[in-house]
Amino acid sequence: MLTGVAYAVLEILQKNAMWVVGLLTASACAFSFAVQHVWASMGLNIYYLVMSVVGLIQWRKDGQQVGEGEIHLAALPKKVLLLSILLLAVGIGVMTPVLKAAGGAYAPLDAVAVTISVIATWWLTRSYLEQWFLWMVADVFTTTLCILTGQYWMALLYLCYIGSAVYGYFHWKKRGKYLTLPG
Count of other CB atoms within 10 angstroms of residue 183: 9
86-94 contacts, C-beta under 8 A, 24 or more apart: 87/115, 87/118, 87/119, 88/115, 88/116, 88/119, 91/115, 91/118
One DSSP character per residue, 108-132 reads HHHHHHHHHHHHHHHHHHTTBTTHH
* Cβ neighbours, 10 Å, residue 77: 13
| CB 118, CB 44: distance < 8 Å | yes
Residue-wise pLDDT tens for the chain (183 aa)?
A: 677 788 888 988 999 999 999 998 888 877 777 776 667 778 888 999 999 999 999 989 988 888 877 899 999 999 999 999 999 999 999 999 998 998 877 889 989 999 999 999 999 999 999 999 999 999 999 899 888 888 888 888 889 999 999 999 999 999 999 986 545
